[in-house]
Amino acid sequence: MPTTTKRAIRGRILFGALRPFAALMLRLPLPIGRAFGVFLGHLGWHLLRPDRRRALEHIAIAFPDWPPRRRRATIRKMFHHLGMTLVEMLWLPNLNEETCARTTTFEGLENLHPGEGMIGITGHCGNWEWIAHAVALRTPVSVMHRERDEVQMNRFITALRGNVGITTIDRGSTAAAREMIRALRSGSILAFLIDQSIRAESVKVPFFGLPAPTPIGPARLAVRMGVPITRMFVERRNGKLHIRILKPIMVSQDDDPVALTARLTADIEAQIRRVPEQWVWMHDRWRERPKWDVSEGQKAEG
């Protein structure tokens, strides 16, 4: 059976289980939902052994000086965090001005310029979907998205974002470039996650001391259009989600996209070091993708 067919079947099964679970989580108070998410994460720690093994391998690369006990404790907390993140994402239709004020704190709101087109960069740190939803209550947001193999799952995610006016752009569509430019010109924050090795034109930049393939498209787009880049991160703090909006990087057409990508990656690494249990360590950040590699700004042959 082809891999894409297997993924589609898994997606349908997952979506079938997700719908009733989502309906339940939507009605629960958020603290109770989070407690259930910790329980799910605890099950994941024990049952998802391949993911646990990969996460332990990767955190050992990033923190070779940590003793094994500390690395295991961090990855266990990561599973708990991801369980809470799932519940929070399903709870997001409840997020409005009132509930956002109760559940979310902000730092650096003065760096958010409503109605000004800019590129927003973050990673799979904290609850990345929560950032988009909370910021979209204040200024238009468009997000780049890789379509899943399950159509209903795509519709679910797109509808979830659409509740607060977030525009979802499929990065694999032929209209993606036009939609990105349109979003920036209309004053939207165009948001990207750049902390994974994906099938996109990439450049190798340092990540925890090792070269990691990183999408270069966002930096190139910023240089081409001369728009600022802001970095936004979220972390759990005192029972709430705390969003930090860093001072925008002012970009000109003379800037080097490779150097910009390295700087953005360094910011993501700094956030991971702040709260290492709130990043997705099971992802192979250093995975080689030769076809998509960029060397010193030029696309590799092959």
Beta-sheet pairing, 141-145 with 167-170: parallel
Residue 270 near residue 131 (C-beta atoms within 8 A): no
> 92: helix, coil or strand?
helix
pTM of the predicted model as reported, rounded to 2 decimal places: 0.90
Residue 299 has pLDDT above 70, yes or no: no
pLDDT at residue 21 in the model: 80
Burial class (CB in 10 A: 0-12, 13-18, 19+), 56: middle
Residue 10 has pLDDT above 70, yes or no: no
Write out pLDDT tens, residues 41-74.
999 999 999 999 999 999 999 999 999 999 999 9
Residue 286 has pLDDT above 80, yes or no: yes
Distance (Å, rounded) from C-alpha 46 to C-alpha 32?
A: 22
Burial class (CB in 10 A: 0-12, 13-18, 19+), 1: exposed
Nearest 5 degrees, angle CA 54-CA 56-CA 60?
A: 115
Residue 202 has pLDDT above 70, yes or no: yes
Residue 132 has pLDDT above 90, yes or no: yes
3-state secondary structure 137-191: CCCCEEEEECCCCCHHHHHHHHHHHHCCCCEEEECCCCCHHHHHHHHHHCCCEEE
Write out pLDDT tens, residues 232-278.
999 999 899 999 999 999 999 999 999 999 999 999 999 999 999 99
Look at the chain and report how many structural domains it folds into: 1
Which residue blocks in 186-280 are alpha helix, DSSP H? 217-225, 257-274
Q: Provide the pLDDT confidence category of residue 298 given band limits of 50, 70 and 90.
A: very low
Distance (Å, rounded) from C-alpha 202 to C-alpha 258?
A: 9
Residue 16 has pLDDT above 90, yes or no: no
pLDDT at residue 38 in the model: 97
What integer is the mean pLDDT of 14-27?
79
Residue 295 has pLDDT above 60, yes or no: no
Range of the domain at 219: 3-299
Write out pLDDT tens, residues 180-197.
999 999 999 999 999 998
pLDDT at residue 156 in the model: 83
Q: Provide the pLDDT confidence category of residue 11 given band limits of 50, 70 and 90.
A: low
pLDDT, the chain, mean: 90
